[in-house]
Amino acid sequence: MQRLYGRSGLAILEEWFTLIDRLQGGDLDTQLREVNDFFNRRVRWLEDTQIWGTEDYWATPLETMGKRQGDCEDYSIAKYVTLKELGVPGSKLRMIYVRARIGRSQINQAHMVLGYYETPSAVPQVLDNLVPSITPASQRTDLDPVFSFNSEGLWAGGSSQSRADPVARLSRWRSVIERMQQQGFLS
Amino acid sequence: MSLIKQLWLAITTLLLLAFVGSLLIGVTSSRHYIEQEIEIKNIDNANALALSMSQMEKDPVILELLLAAQFDTGHYQRIELRDAEGEIIEQRTAGEHIEDVPAWFVELVRFDVPAGRAVVQNGWQQYGTLELESQHSFAYRSLWRSTLELAGWFALAGAVSLLLASWIVNTIRRPLRNVVSQAQAIGQRRFMMASEPRTRELREVVQAMNQLSYAVRQMLGEESDKLDQLRRRMQHDPVTDTLTRVPFLDQLQAHLNSEKEDASGTLAMVRVARLGELNQHLGHAGTDALLVRVARRLDQLANLYGYGTVGRLNGSDFALILPRHHDLEALGNDLAERLRSLGAELGTVVSLPSALCQYRQGEARGQLLASLDGALASAERQGEFGQVMVDQPAANVLFTRHDEWREALSDALDQGVLLAHYPVLDARGEMIHFEVPSRLRLKEEWRPAGVFLPWISRLAMAPTLDLAVVSAALADVESRGKAVAINLSSDSLSDGHFVGELLSRVRAHQRIADKLWFELPQSAAMQQPQALRTLCHALLGLGCRVGLEHVGTQFGKIEGLQDLGLSFMKIDGALSQEIESRGDQQSLLRGMATLAHSLGIMAIAEGVESQGAADTLFELGLDGVTGPGIREQSTNGG
């Protein structure tokens, strides 16, 4: 970590470990709030092209923390992984593609947030990097949900491990999951 | 297990391993590939369908139509939409359509593909879970097809490899078989040379064995040379290199006792008259030179007529045995002619009178020599090249003309031959085999072979007689069950028809083949080694034994002796005359027996005249004896 991202990289990782230790076994609302705040405060929003020099790169939490930069899906992935680390069941967390109207302008932008579903049919709590607080989705009139996913379907068929297929790299989502596993997350 | 079998086993195992292995790998990797493709398709289609449904109004009819449209136009085994609580909202399933694929194969490869799963959104909320499985029955069929194809190709490749392998095995086996047969031949003391195979290991073995054969051949040559030198020193006149008196007379006696072609012929004597005067006139060296020239002239004659022997009976007298030749007139003229031309060459006044007579089997040697001596004395009185022929007592001649002989012999052969039985015994007095010389009924009497054999060979009837003897001998062995030694003549050896007939008759009596011993004169081996070799190998293959008779000290010089596979040899009677009292002769026979044994050949002495001589011969290492002095123990009374 230090080799790749220097002192600041190491520092944020240590903070993240402290956060995990502190929130472990804690109350769910606190967990959601603290995790949301941790990434929203420490990671600066930038376009992928500016950070990675490529269109739409899905970074792992380690990369996001190391760079202290990320775009919407990088926030969502980092929060998703952190919450799973804290023992929140994966089936209750879904990444949601949304259409966002930013500010008062009528500009629509493709955006991604993390939703927490208390039950499968419930209205989710939205963890967004554009808005500091966690709000139920019904209050977020600026967002139109389009589609959601999580890693549940990937591991269907009994195996708890993503299959180490070369084809997994062809899908962005599966690719980032692979890389996270290599870096020691999602174990 | 034979080496070749092991080789085949190894090749087959390797081929099977390679083919089964690649078949397994091929099927497994195809199966894996198909599974992966179907899994990706499941995931992608589930997400695509869920995405469309998320955008739709959540009207049950619309959702059902959407699901049905996807199911009916696509290739699916199952599409299921469950609500958030897991209750089925909509479901379409189809069975597996696995045709013309054997059940065991399906069971064996059975794809394990997880269903694709995606969540349908209704606004922020989850509407339900979509699960989807693609139809993959076709994959079994194509996998089965490709497996069959692969197996077919492998079968083809296997067949080609096996053909190739059989070619390789053959190229290994042929030299291997040769090596084995050479080794077996050496085991039977037949030291043959083999051509070197190309395989390196085999070549080394063959080289080693060839070296052994070569060494044996060398040894044979050297030993035989030594024996021959020994014999020459003992038996030859140092001045003229002809036989001295005693061995010459032994030879004559052997002929007179013989039952073979040599039993009758012509005996001639030549005298260098007034040797004392010549000696004074020419000096010692000059006289010696003269004697040598006379001896060489007689040698020429002996070689010309064949089977001849020249001896120096005393200082001035030479003698010449020409077996098988009975025309005194012609021989006499030829001899006189040669002596005259020699006289002319010499230039000095030299007198070379000569005398000739015929000898016949059973005649007394002393009487024969005395009458010839008398004739020579009268020839000497006739002049420088005087010649006297001793008249034959007419009673001794059966027939005089060729056509008479021919007719009489054909008739006699038609009547059949009678076989005499002379035992050949080993050191313990046990029977080795019977010698069975033939008897023919001529002029109302059974005549011994010595009487008619010269005519048989002169009239080229030898193959006919030999075949008659073979038939009689086969019948004899069948009835008596005792082994016999059958004589074959040199003339028969070169007769292709005879050889074929002989082999087929022996083959017809395969059961008693081990009781058949065939013997040929040593001269046949010297003159027709190739024909002898062919016959030997054929007869040995049938289980018979083959040997040589009348063998002299030169037998080691017989071409390819070490590889003929001879079982026995009978040493010429001339070599064993009065053996008890002759030390030099004993060492000669000992040497011959040792040499024969080194080749696995049994040594038998011919013409043994007494039990005492037989005992001496056994002490010298001979394995068997035969002759006038040898009687079967039962008739002997002990």
Q: Say whether B115 and A117 touch across the interface (CB within 8 A).
A: no
pLDDT of residue A173: 83
HSE at residue A21, side-chain half, CA atoms within 13 A, is: 6
Q: Say whether A123 and B121 touch across the interface (CB within 8 A).
A: no
Looking at CA atoms only, how far is residue A149 from chain B in angstroms?
Answer: 7
User: Which chain B residues are within 8 Å of A124, Cβ to Cβ?
Assistant: 124-125
Tokens for B468, please give them: 């008659």
User: Which chain B residues are within 8 Å of A165, Cβ to Cβ?
Assistant: 36
Instruction: Flag whether pLDDT at A161 surpasses 60.
Output: no
Is residue A27 classed exposed, middle or buried when 0-12, 13-18 and 19+ CB atoms within 10 A define those classes? exposed
Question: What average pLDDT does range A87-116 have in this prediction?
Answer: 86
Residue B625 DSSP SS3 = strand
Rg of chain B in Å (alpha carbons) = 48
pLDDT of residue B635: 46
Q: What is the pLDDT of residues A169-182, one digit of tens each?
A: 667 888 888 888 88
Measure Cα distances from B430 to B427, B545, B547, B568 in Å. Answer: 7, 18, 19, 16
Contact between B322 and B328 (Cβ < 8 Å)? no
Looking at CA atoms only, how far is residue B53 from chain A in angstroms?
Answer: 10
- Residue from the list A120, A137, A167 with its beta carbon closest to the beta carbon of B124: A137
Q: Which CATH number fits domain B3-165: 3.40.50, 3.30.1490, 2.60.40, 3.30.450?
A: 3.30.450
Question: What average pLDDT does range B331-343 have in this prediction?
Answer: 88
CA distance linking residue B270 with residue B377, whole number of Å: 10
CATH number for the domain whose boundaries are B402-625? 3.20.20.450
- Residue from the list B43, B47, B126 with its beta carbon closest to the beta carbon of A121: B126
Chain B residue set in contact with A, beta carbons under 8 Å: 36, 40, 43, 46-47, 50-51, 54-55, 83-85, 112-119, 121, 123-126
- pLDDT above 90 covers a percentage of chain B that reads 18
Q: Say whether B121 and A122 touch across the interface (CB within 8 A).
A: no
Instruction: Flag whether pLDDT at A142 surpasses 60.
Output: yes
What single-letter DSSP state applies at residue B446? Answer: E
User: Which chain B residues are within 8 Å of A149, Cβ to Cβ?
Assistant: 47, 118-119
Rg of chain A in Å (alpha carbons) = 16
Instruction: Flag whether pLDDT at A136 surpasses 50.
Output: yes
Q: What is the pLDDT of residues A8-48, one digit of tens each?
A: 888 898 999 999 999 988 899 999 999 999 999 999 888 88
Q: Say whether A146 and B55 touch across the interface (CB within 8 A).
A: yes
- Residue from the list A94, A123, A147 with its beta carbon closest to the beta carbon of B51: A147
B256-260, B283-287, B382-386, B495-499: least confidently modelled range: B256-260
What confidence tier does A67 reach under pLDDT thresholds 50, 70, 90? confident
Measured between CB atoms, does A99 come within 8 Å of chain B?
Answer: no
Nearest-Cα residue of chain B relative to residue A155: B114
Q: What is the pLDDT of residues B424-475, one digit of tens each?
A: 999 888 899 999 988 888 888 888 887 788 788 878 888 999 999 999 999 9
Q: What is the pLDDT of residues B144-189, one digit of tens each?
A: 998 899 889 888 988 998 899 889 888 878 888 888 888 888 777 7
User: Which chain A residues are within 8 Å of B50, Cβ to Cβ?
Assistant: 147
Tokens for B269, please give them: 């004597």
Q: What is the pLDDT of residues A84-98, one digit of tens each?
A: 889 888 888 998 999
pLDDT of residue A169: 60
Question: What average pLDDT does range B406-413 have in this prediction?
Answer: 89
Residue B271 DSSP SS3 = strand
ipTM over 0.90: no
Q: Say whether A145 and B51 touch across the interface (CB within 8 A).
A: no
Q: Say whether A120 and B85 touch across the interface (CB within 8 A).
A: yes
Helix axes A2-23, A28-42, angle to 10 degrees: 160
Report which listed range, A180-184, B209-213, B308-312, is most confident.
Answer: B308-312
What single-letter DSSP state applies at residue B80? Answer: E
Looking at CA atoms only, how far is residue A168 from chain B in angstroms?
Answer: 9
Tokens for B561, please give them: 């002796």
pTM value is 0.55
User: Which chain B residues are within 8 Å of A156, Cβ to Cβ?
Assistant: 114-115, 117
User: Which chain B residues are within 8 Å of A167, Cβ to Cβ?
Assistant: 36, 40
What confidence tier does B636 reach under pLDDT thresholds 50, 70, 90? very low
Question: What average pLDDT does range B78-91 have in this prediction?
Answer: 89
Domain positions in chain B are: 3-165, 244-396, 402-625
Contact between A10 and A68 (Cβ < 8 Å)? no
pLDDT of residue A48: 82
Closest by Cα among B580, B572, B545 to B627: B572
CATH architecture of B244-396: 2-Layer Sandwich (3.30)
Contact between A143 and A99 (Cβ < 8 Å)? yes
pLDDT of residue A101: 85
User: Which chain B residues are within 8 Å of A115, Cβ to Cβ?
Assistant: 124
Looking at CA atoms only, how far is residue A60 from chain B in angstroms?
Answer: 22
User: Which chain A residues are within 8 Å of B40, Cβ to Cβ?
Assistant: 167, 170
What single-letter DSSP state applies at residue B239? Answer: T
User: If DSSP states are collapsed to H, E and C, what string results for B142-161?
Assistant: HHHHHHHHHHHHHHHHHHHH
Q: Say whether B112 and A120 touch across the interface (CB within 8 A).
A: no
pLDDT of residue B81: 93
Question: What average pLDDT does range A151-168 have in this prediction?
Answer: 52
Q: Say whether A120 and B84 touch across the interface (CB within 8 A).
A: yes
Instruction: Flag whether pLDDT at A162 surpasses 50.
Output: no
Tokens for B298, please give them: 């007689």
What confidence tier does A153 reach under pLDDT thresholds 50, 70, 90? low
Looking at CA atoms only, how far is residue B107 from chain A in angstroms?
Answer: 19
- Residue from the list A115, A117, A156 with its beta carbon closest to the beta carbon of B114: A156
- pLDDT above 70 covers a percentage of chain B that reads 98
**Contact partners, residue B449, CB within 8 Å, separation at least 6:** B259, B260, B263, B437, B438, B439, B440
pLDDT of residue B217: 78
How much is the mean pLDDT over chain B? 86
What confidence tier does B637 reach under pLDDT thresholds 50, 70, 90? very low
Contact between B210 and B194 (Cβ < 8 Å)? yes
Instruction: Flag whether pLDDT at B568 surpasses 80.
Output: yes
Per this entry, what is the length of chain A?
Answer: 187
Contact between B447 and B261 (Cβ < 8 Å)? no
Residue from A148, A151, A162 to probe the interface with B (highest B Cβ count within 10 Å): A148
What confidence tier does B628 reach under pLDDT thresholds 50, 70, 90? confident
Measured between CB atoms, does A90 come within 8 Å of chain B?
Answer: no
A/B interface, count of CB pairs below 8 Å: 58
